[in-house]
Structure 1
Amino acid sequence: MATLPSEARLALWLLEAAPGNGEAALPTHQALAELLGVTRVTVSRALGRLRAQGLISTGRHRAKLLAPELLALRASGASPGTAVGVAPGAAPGTAPGAAPPPL
């Protein structure tokens, strides 16, 4: 895993840790950093970016995958919005030019 960017490594770890129901037990940021070979700050920032992009939600020692397909793309090293056509400000998983979901 060490050849992937830190955010991709985190995405891959989340996908592997949350099979089936899409929820994973989340270790401390320090423990996760040691697993991924990065700093605690890097883990905190990467989790924050994945949350801000609507790919995951986190709670006390839990992570829920909200968009596992997009997270898988991130795990492959894809940048936000690449290969899936997510326009800036668009909800994850929506096609470019698609109507917003009903409220």
Structure 2
Amino acid sequence: MDWDLPLILTVLVLAIIVILPLISSFKDRSYRCLIYSALGNDDYFKVTQRLKSKAVPYRTKVIIDSSHPGGGSIQSGAQDYLQYDIYVQKKDEYRANNAIHHYDKIR
């Protein structure tokens, strides 16, 4: 049997390209409740620190707005234009809201 090494490598690479996003989507599928959309790094770090302090697990999806200067890349100043959508599991929605919106009242 004569194996064609370039063909085998191509098939393996394509399989990895298809399989890794599927694994990632299955891993994060329980994080469907959009709890907060942070605009810029400062807002993002403030909110995620509050979630961490209350031990609320979360996932983040970064959205880059290319209509702003530097929005097409993440270099020099583009961070101010990033939108961070923060997701939690439905079971943690109440705790996440309390951590984010009632943080100052607790301390």
Task: Give the number of the structure whose residues are more often strand, by fraction.
Answer: 2
Higher helix share: 2
Q: TM-score, normalised by structure 2?
A: 0.29
Q: Which has the larger radius of gyration?
A: 2
